[in-house]
Structures are given as C-alpha cells and as structure tokens.
Amino acid sequence: MSERLHLSPNQRAWRRFLRNRGAAAALAVLLALIALVLFWPLCRLAPAANVLPKAMTHPPDAVSDAQFAPPTWEHWFGTDAHGRDLLSRVCHGSRISLLVGLVGATVSLVIGVLWGAVAGYSGGRLDGVMMRFVDVLYAMPTVVFVIVLITALNAVLGKWQAGPHGISAENARLLQFAGLFVGLGAVSWLTMARIVRGQVLSMRQRPFIDASLVLGASHARIIWRHILPNVYGIIIVYLTLLVPSIILYESFLSYLGLGIQPPQASLGSLIASGAEQINPIRIYWWLIVFPGAVLALTLLALMFVGDGLRDAFDPRGES
C-alpha cells in the first residue's frame, strides 16, 4: 500500500491498534472508567447534585447509621461497617488504585530503562555486573524486599514527624504515598531492565549509531536521541502490562496493612476490609464483589489494551 508509506512506524502501529476491535473497545472502557472516577466528586456539587439520583451524591467518608446495608436504590453498592456509601468509596478507591499503578509503573520504567540502556549500551564487564545484579534481585522474594523498604521508609517518616522540625500530617501522608510508589517501583523494574538491555544491545550494532559517533555525538545523546526512540514501542507495551501488576501488588500490600492507609482507600484496601468481615452469621458479599469487579474490569481492560499494543507494534503482525 503506497499511500501509507509516508507514515512513521509508530503511526502505522497506532492505526493497526485501532483496527483491532477488541483492543479499541478495551481502550474505550478504560478511558470511560478514568473519566468516571476523575469527575465523580463533581456529582456532589450544586448543579449536578440536583439532577442526579441521590445514590450518586454520597460523600465517600460520611458515616451513617445504615451499617452493612445491602445494595438498594439509596446505596447502589450497599454500605460498609461504618455505614459509608460503598459506591462512592469504590470510585475514590479506583482513583487511588489507578494513580498508584500509573506512578509506580513510571518509577519502575525510569529505573528499568536507565539501568537496561546503560548496561546494554556500555556492554562488556559493566554490562555483566549490572545484569548479574538483576539476576540476584530476581531470585529474592519480592515480598521481603517490599516490606523492608516500606517499613524503613515509614520509620524515617515517623522520626521526621516526631523530630524538632516536625512536618504536618498532610505532608506526612504525601510522603507515605511517595514511599509506597518508590517501594512498588523498586521491585518491578527488573523485567523492564532486561527487555531494554536486550533491545539496546542489538540496536548498538547498527550502522547509524557508528555514523552519529563519527559525527561527534556524545554517548548520552546517542542513547537519548537515537536508541530510546527505537525501543519505545516495546517500552509502551510493557508499561501497559506493568500497570495492572502494580495495581495488584498494591492490593496485596493493602491486605498486609502496608498499602494505602485509612481514611484513604484503594480498591485493594476496600477488598481487604471486606475480607475481614467474613463471618458465618451474615454474608456481606457486596463488600468484596463490587470493589473486586471494578478491579477485575480495570485489569482486564488494561490487559486487552496491552495485548492490542503488542500486536500493533510487532512487525511480524503486518500483512
């Protein structure tokens, strides 16, 4: 097809992606979900609140007497142990979960790409040492690593808060967020580093790299301007696969009590607090099923988008 020759490989990949109906639908679901959780708090404001059904206007942390109310017209998702509206909490929780996934993935993206690019580009002994380090970390159980990191960060925070130049509780919470991001990012950059390193290693042999070296480009410029743009498709694909795994990991940490701290909630911490309420007398299924369903839907959409991107960027897929 000669008319497509003027398109860059990335533009062609994007077109292939949109032609894949499943992936495009997943992207639409994902964007709708993001829009919903972003604009959810607006439902409580004056013009919208008068029009929308009352169930959509509950604040997430308003305590009421309706404890453990099953889903009704008043509360679509029911209420939790303190009578708080679950629908609103799930929306706010999805926000936090998506944020955690995105920022955590970015942190591990930066570490992994830098590590892999430097190792692959320099080659030789430095490459060997850097990649053996990755091998060693691979063999460590991530649980141990993450727990140590997060408790260490929390202890430092506690000291700061108690110290002479005490920081406010608000700032402490932000810092705790940052600690969680760093912890999650720090344990999930390994695969990224391996992938990028392999790509850079093969890219380095190409003649155009030698050409720009001869023209006097610095190594940093070559990595940044010539190598990274060429591996960017693979990085994007892996990033969409990384976000769900980080969201999942955060929910696991919430189950341990190390994740998002109350009064904030993530989907994981909502599910974890639902799991605490399991008892043989009454079954509060909505506490697990609704946040779980939203979590599963988010992950599913991300996974299909990632699959679609991978097929689109895979040159073998072009016919």
Partner 1 sequence: MYFIKRILFLVPLLLLISFLAFVLVHAMPGGPFDRERAPASPEIEHHLQAKYHLDEPILKQYLRYLDGLLHGDFGPSMKYRNHSVTDIVVAGLPVSLSLGALAFCLAIGIGLPLGFFTALHKTKWEDYAGSLAAALVICIPSLVIGPIFIMLFALKLRWFPVALWASPSHVILPVLTLGLYFAGRVARLMHEGMLATLQSEFITTARAKGLSERQVLLRHAFRIAALPVLSYAGPMLADLLTGSFVVENLFQIPGIGVFMVNSSLNADYTMVVGLVLLYAAPLLALNLAVDFAHCLLDPRVRYE
Q: Which stretch binds partner 1 (CB under 8 A): 68-76, 121-129, 138-146, 184-192?
A: 138-146
Q: Which stretch binds partner 1 (CB under 8 A): 33-41, 80-88, 94-102, 251-259?
A: 251-259
Q: How many CB atoms neighbour CB 17 within 10 A? A: 18
Kindly list the distances between the CA atom of residue 287 and the CA atoms of 36, 53, 218, 270, 278, in Å, as whole numbers in the listed order. 20, 22, 56, 7, 10
At closest approach, how far in Å is the CB of 157 from partner 1?
11
Tell me if 233 contacts partner 1 by CB under 8 A: no
Tell me if 190 contacts partner 1 by CB under 8 A: no
What is the rounded distance in angstroms from the CA atom of residue 288 to the CA atom of residue 173? 26
At closest approach, how far in Å is the CB of 299 from partner 1?
4
Indicate which single residue of 60, 185, 292, 308 sits in contact with partner 1 (rule: CB under 8 A). Answer: 292
Tell me if 18 contacts partner 1 by CB under 8 A: no
Query: Hey, what amino acid is at 185?
Result: G
At closest approach, how far in Å is the CB of 196 from partner 1?
19
Indicate which single residue of 78, 101, 179, 268 sits in contact with partner 1 (rule: CB under 8 A). Answer: 268
Tell me if 278 contacts partner 1 by CB under 8 A: yes
Tell me if 288 contacts partner 1 by CB under 8 A: yes
Q: Which stretch binds partner 1 (CB under 8 A): 9-17, 42-50, 161-169, 283-291?
A: 283-291
Site string for partner 1, 148-177 (x = CB under 8 A): x--xx--xx---------------------
Tell me if 141 contacts partner 1 by CB under 8 A: yes
């990224």: which residue's tokens? 192
Tell me if 272 contacts partner 1 by CB under 8 A: yes
What is the rounded distance in angstroms from the CA atom of residue 161 to the CA atom of residue 165? 8
Tell me if 296 contacts partner 1 by CB under 8 A: yes
Tell me if 28 contacts partner 1 by CB under 8 A: no
Interacting residues toward partner 1 by CB under 8 A = 135-136, 139-141, 143-145, 147-148, 151-152, 155-156, 244, 248, 251-252, 255-256, 268, 271-272, 274-275, 278, 280, 283, 285, 288-289, 292, 295-296, 299-300, 303-304
